[in-house]
Chains A and B, each alone.
Chain A
Amino acid sequence: MRRTIAKAALHTALNVLFFTIIGTTLLGVTYLNTKAPIERSEQEAKLKLISQLVPHQDFDNDILADILKLTPDPLLGTSAPSTAYRARKNGQPVAVVLEAIAPDGYSGRISLIIAIKVDGTLGGVRVVEHKETPGLGDYVDIAKSNWVTGFNGKALQPGKDDDWHVRKDGGQFDYMAGATITPRAVIKATHKVLQYYALHQDTLLATATTSPKQEVKK
């Protein structure tokens, strides 16, 4: 009796194991086969986003090559190294595009890219990836609404930190009723990135010739 139970259990376990192996193999094969195209389309999407923030005629360098690796920083919200893309015209810095993460969205992290012009004003903010509720919190995505363009031209002003909130909390930014957590997270992250820029402006804008990547090339 006991042996038949053990046998049945073993049979079931082996069966589940068999399907798990097939499933995992299928997933692995799909992952490996789609990895390169996914990375390519994500890179393309990033370039498209950057050119929305920094108009093409405003820079003449290869913006995806003129990069600076940034160490994780609480002001950027990053936990892994991120990339800063620098736009220049005739060798003069025009703007810098930073990657940032708003950790406190309604459903987890919201990835942003933020363009800051040399004078410290915002060139624009875009949400690259988020898990906010479709149809509710996702209006921070430019594909769903123009809300995020409200950041254009905004800058840090001494003593006016309270402006960096939604109107409901006494700030200057609009929000949609019923979905305030998402814009709060995006506004807070953008504000912090501007503070980061103020602290590290010189490093971020340093000319290509002194950037570590170029030195290695020599």
Chain B
Amino acid sequence: MTYQEAKDIFYNGLWKQNTGLVQLLGLCPILAVSSSVVNAVSLGLATTLVMTIASATVSPIRSAVPNEARIPVFVLIIAVLVTVIQYAMNAYVHALYLVLGIFIPLITTNCIVLARIEAFASKQPPWQSAVDGLAMGLGLTAVLAVLGGMREVFGHGTLLSGIDMVFGVGAKAWVVTVVPDYHGFLLAILPPGAFIALGLLIAGKNYMTMRAAANEKKRVIPIASAA
């Protein structure tokens, strides 16, 4: 895999084909857990792990799976991976499991995992597939983090609440109270708030893409007229 290839894959995953803003896949967990930054980033990273391993597992066996049977086999592989990770976390990193455990089974239902396997890993070599899973997962994590931040500030008036469950009691001091004495804004915490915030993010992304395209045009025209 060349440097340029990896760069393209990352650019696709983080921006151009971002799962949360462009592909709009896996919205169910996005809407469910993005009510706070810590929840959102935790699930994002767990999903990234599963996507990377799942893509890297499917790619080497892609020629062994008959075309008609690929969906059930891929779903089976994802489900097995998620369950193995869940067991292993419960057994060996119990503290982290207490934080993330409830989200882990949700990853199986996240169609972005299957979508990337179907669209990328089942057609590309293992390294590229693993990088694609990683990049797509990180893109999703970034969107989740921003969404979680928006909803937490508007819904609770805080940022990073619950961080002490990941880094221990000492981390409680990291919680930022953005609006002191805030009474909460329920809409932001409930799923409709997630839809509205996600809509704003998508609008922002589209606006930036459009402006970039318009700038491109402006730059091209003078050269054309000069010629």
- Chain A residues, CB < 8 A from B73: 15-16, 19
- Is there an interface contact between B98 and A143, defined as CB atoms closer than 8 Å? yes
- Is there an interface contact between B190 and A178, defined as CB atoms closer than 8 Å? yes
- Chain B residues, CB < 8 A from A159: none
Interface size counted on chain B using CB atoms at 8 A: 33
B36 within 8 A of A: yes
Pick from B15-23, B88-96, B197-205 the stretch touching chain A.
B88-96
Pick from A52-60, A80-88, A113-121, A133-141 the stretch touching chain B.
A133-141
Pick from B76-84, B115-123, B135-143 the stretch touching chain A.
B76-84
- Chain B residues, CB < 8 A from A37: 91-92
Shortest C-beta distance, A7 to chain B (Å), equals 12
A139-179 toward B: CB 8 Å interface, digit per residue (1/0)? 00001100000000000000000000000000000000110
- Chain B residues, CB < 8 A from A134: 32-33, 35, 39, 102-103
- Chain B residues, CB < 8 A from A38: 87, 90-91
B72 within 8 A of A: yes
B165 within 8 A of A: yes
Interface size counted on chain A using CB atoms at 8 A: 28
- Chain A residues, CB < 8 A from B184: 177
- Is there an interface contact between B91 and A34, defined as CB atoms closer than 8 Å? yes
From known contacts A37-B92, A45-B94, A134-B35, infer whether A19 and B87 are also in contact, taking CB-CB under 8 Å: no
Q: Which residues of A contact B (CB under 8 A)?
A: 8, 11-12, 15-16, 19-20, 23, 26-27, 30-31, 33-34, 37-38, 41, 45, 131, 133-136, 138, 143-144, 177-178
| Additional 5 contacts, C-beta under 8 A, given A15-B69, A45-B94, A138-B102 | A30-B84, A34-B88, A34-B90, A41-B91, A134-B33
